[in-house]
A and B are shown apart, each in its own frame.
Chain A
Amino acid sequence: MDTPVELAEAAALASPRAIDTPDPMRPVPFVVLQNTRETGDTFTLTLQPAGAPAPFRFAPGQFNMLYVFGVGEVPISISGDPARPELLVHTIRAVGAATRALQKLQKGEVVGVRGPFGTAWPVEPAHGHDVVVVAGGIGLAPLRPALYHLLLHRVQYGRLVLLCGARTPKDLIYARELREWRGRFDMEVDVTVDRATADWQGAVGVVTRLVERAPFDPGSAMAFVCGPEVMIRFAVMALEQRGVAARSVHVSMERNMKCAVGLCGHCQFGSRFVCRDGPVFPYDQTLPFFGMREV
């Protein structure tokens, strides 16, 4: 085993990138092509690199750090189509200073982008399996790239089920796409809201109840779950109750992030760095910490 300083010397010498490395903390400028309102406080930015156009390749589930001049940076999942990397798409909820500043951006304005970071939804290991996607609220945004991928390579998967929960019908994001997907014969889409409006004819109740009835084979299905952490807890319980193994359930986690490259320490969850070992985790790897208080 190398002594610590030999290790360090090797790292510094064998890869001169240590000094020449493009600084992982330096953003790249991107221009806003479009800023579309999705619901009350949720909007979608479509971005392209400032200067020469270049594809932004990413894996579904990964995120970027978006920088607003003088305000700060936030981690936002990428929610576009990985097969169309010429456009970088982010659906964002305005809840703090930086996201509210992003919400005000107009076409032609510039943001800083660092990324892509993090682990991806396991769309390759899911080949040959049923895939159950459980999305709560804005949790559908980090799942959309996976759905695009699954649909593009539809023949490689078994049954495809999307279970979607939102606060009210007005809070459903990607409503147009949900309707298109619901019209497909090779995909089951179930949508429920916590509280209905007068004109809502669909299901009312928590999204976890949809898990009980969804048509998939629990013995071999893989589940991708994204939403508020409490919702993830209950969704995982419902999936396990149907017989889906913990290692076949994949969840996307969130923690405070400052650097997104595993160096600032903020995003730690147990011994995992959410920015580097996540944000997508097989559920069994989040144990025993998942559900423990104040971890």
Chain B
Amino acid sequence: MVATTLEPSLASQPFFEGLSAPHLALLTGCTSNAVFNAGELIFREGQPADRFYLLRHGRVGLEIFLPAGGPLTIETLEQGEVLGFSWLFPPYKSRFDARALTLVRALSLDGACLRRKCEEDTALGYELMKRFAPLIIARLESTRMQLLDLYGHAR
């Protein structure tokens, strides 16, 4: 049964370190295992964003599809990283494509279910915010560095 087999996996994730046992149990109820083959699309831009993933193995590429250029990878995520922020806030739609570049194993969490539980248990909501916010900030910093085009021609 899902609750017994996946709770230890969740508990061992650094991302969930420090969560209380009841909160961990709540999360476990929304968690399942996911496997994607190399090349498989994990989510598509514009689709309802109801899940997020904790990558346990493999590499995922965040892509934008360019009209005249095809898919372009704008960032890659590796083992240990979190994929998917769009489930947190309206309009709950994915902003990019995500594709498994290699075989990917991940813990998949049901965002829609989690949102309901966070409305009821706001402490859980705050715990999740505390963990997501630094990731989003780090992603922003990295993106800004990429924008600087540091290796490009002299300014």
A235 to B71, CA, bound (A): 29
Verify B78–A95 contact, CB threshold 8 A.
no
Q: From A210, which residue of chain B is reached at the shortest CB distance?
A: B78
Is B59 interfacial (CB 8 A cutoff)? yes
Q: Smallest CB–CB gap between B25 and chain A, Å?
A: 30
Residues from chain A with a CB closer than 8 A to the CB of B74 are: 195-196, 204
Total number of residue pairs linking A and B with CB closer than 8 Å: 66
Q: From A171, which residue of chain B is reached at the shortest CB distance?
A: B151
Instruction: Categorize the interface residue count of chain A.
Output: 20 to 34
Cβ 8 A contact of B142, one of A202, A208, A228: A208
A227 to B152, CA, bound (A): 12
Q: Smallest CB–CB gap between A207 and chain B, Å?
A: 9
Give how many B residues have a beta carbon under 8 Å from the other chain's beta carbons. 24
Verify A196–B73 contact, CB threshold 8 A.
yes
Q: Smallest CB–CB gap between A36 and chain B, Å?
A: 20
Residues from chain B with a CB closer than 8 A to the CB of A137 are: 150-151
Residues from chain A with a CB closer than 8 A to the CB of B151 are: 136-138, 165-167, 171, 194, 227-228
Residues from chain A with a CB closer than 8 A to the CB of B101 are: 201
Q: Mark B20-57, 1 if CB is under 8 A from A, else 0.
A: 00000000000000000000000000000000000000
- State the B residues within 8 Å of A (CB): 59, 61, 69-76, 78-80, 101, 142, 145-146, 148-154
- State the A residues within 8 Å of B (CB): 41, 95, 136-138, 165-167, 171, 192, 194-196, 198, 200-206, 208-209, 213, 227-228, 230-231, 234
Known pairs A167-B152, A205-B75, A230-B145 / 11 extra A-B pairs, C-beta < 8 Å: A41-B153, A136-B151, A195-B74, A195-B146, A196-B72, A202-B76, A204-B61, A204-B75, A205-B146, A230-B148, A231-B145
**Would you give 13 A-B contacts (Cβ < 8 Å), ordered by A?**
A41-B153, A95-B153, A136-B150, A137-B150, A166-B151, A196-B74, A198-B70, A198-B72, A203-B76, A205-B142, A205-B146, A208-B145, A213-B80
